[in-house]
Amino acid sequence: MTGRVEQARAAQDWMVARRRELHQHPEVGLELPWTHRYVEEVLSELGYEVEVHRGAGLTVRVPGVAPDGIGSVLRADMDALPVTERTDLPFRSLEQGAMHACGHDLHMAMLLGAAKVFADSPPRRDTILAFQPGEESDRGALAVLEHDNLKFEGDATAFAVHVHALAQPGAILCRPGVFMSFGDWFTVELHGPGGHASQPHLVGNPVEAGAAIATALPQLAAEIGVGEHVVATPTESLIGNTVNVIPASGRIRGTIRTLSAGKRQALIEGMQQLVAQVADRHGLTAELTIHEGYPAVVNHADFMERFERRVRQTELAGQVTSMPEPSMVIEDFAYFLHRWPGGMVYLGAQGPENTSFNHADDVVYDEAVLSEGAALHLLVADGV
């Protein structure tokens, strides 16, 4: 087991170079033409036959030297966020309006590092390396799961690492059961007759109604979330466009996060009642639409027990820690775990003096954790 950690550390500088190239060329969504091409070239140079589909990622098969009938599926996401980077890194994004603010560049570099090690020292298990676009909002996992490389008979486990920008570098945060939340998006459409700003008593005002809804949503979430964390966050308001007209319509959008199907349903029903009551009070009509997002990431308890036991047999033992509460982040790795048992872990990667969480335009990650992330992939592929 110690050998795998040493092998990953030997690839550290190689991974840093790839990570920085990826960081400078972020792309958003599913297509990611530069990123697909770059990852394919690296894997091909390592000697792999790559299955690549436009807008649907890349996969490679790595035969195991002593397969036990259970395969390993290791996944890294590829897409960036529509954020303009605000750091002074020498390798900061060259693309205006795009940034690897969530750390997917590190995820790719880790899995490429594992691929580099496997090229000379294959895994014990038959292993699939999966590079997935469109994680942030496009359900890219579903497209990757259609790859021929992933249409195999037999058992397997699925595993992924996600960096955590505010956790101590190198900390391996583990949790069986619900690891990340259910996540949905909502839209509230408000409608009224509109009117002159000097006559507010004659018509309902979508601005006032929208403000009332946005203010009440967090309180509603807190009431429903007794005993289990629940989030309802308005993030966008598009109401009105001038100073002397009461608008005839408006729109509010946002996200909801829950940890169980029961709380999710209770929150949606509460939102429906809230929106209807506010609209009626303001003399408006309103429609609430729930856009189904991602299911919860649920780590399989048996897998996580074996994973922790395996990691504790290595130099990384002191870095394993239990995560007491689920994260309210969402992740479409959930779909991988619907097909195979397995798990996801957070890997602490807080950069020097960084105080921002993932997705911030000034977030900085510690590249030193690349070798640890790669080592975790190597250990899983040898049998967890």
- Give SS3 for 228: coil
Q: Is 136 a catalytic residue?
A: yes
From 51, 77, 105, 382, active-site residue: 77
Residues 162, 107: Cα–Cα separation, whole Å: 7
Q: Say how far apart CA 378 and CA 381 lie, in whole Å.
A: 5
Among the listed residues 122, 133, 121, 142, the one whose alpha carbon sits nearest the alpha carbon of residue 61: 122
Order across the sheet with 155-164: list the strands: 51-52, 58-62, 127-132, 70-77, 155-164, 342-348, 172-174, 320-322
Distance between CA atoms of 150 and 199, rounded to whole angstroms?
63
> Under a CB-based contact definition with an 8 Å cutoff, are residues 44 and 50 in contact?
yes
DSSP state letter for 260: S
Looking at 27, 136, 308, 332, which residue is catalytic? 136
Structure-block tokens of residue 371: 């070798």
**134-168 exposure pattern, b = at least 16 Cβ within 10 A, e = fewer:** bbbbbebbebbbebebbeeeeebbbbbbbbbbebe
Which residues are part of the catalytic machinery? 77, 136
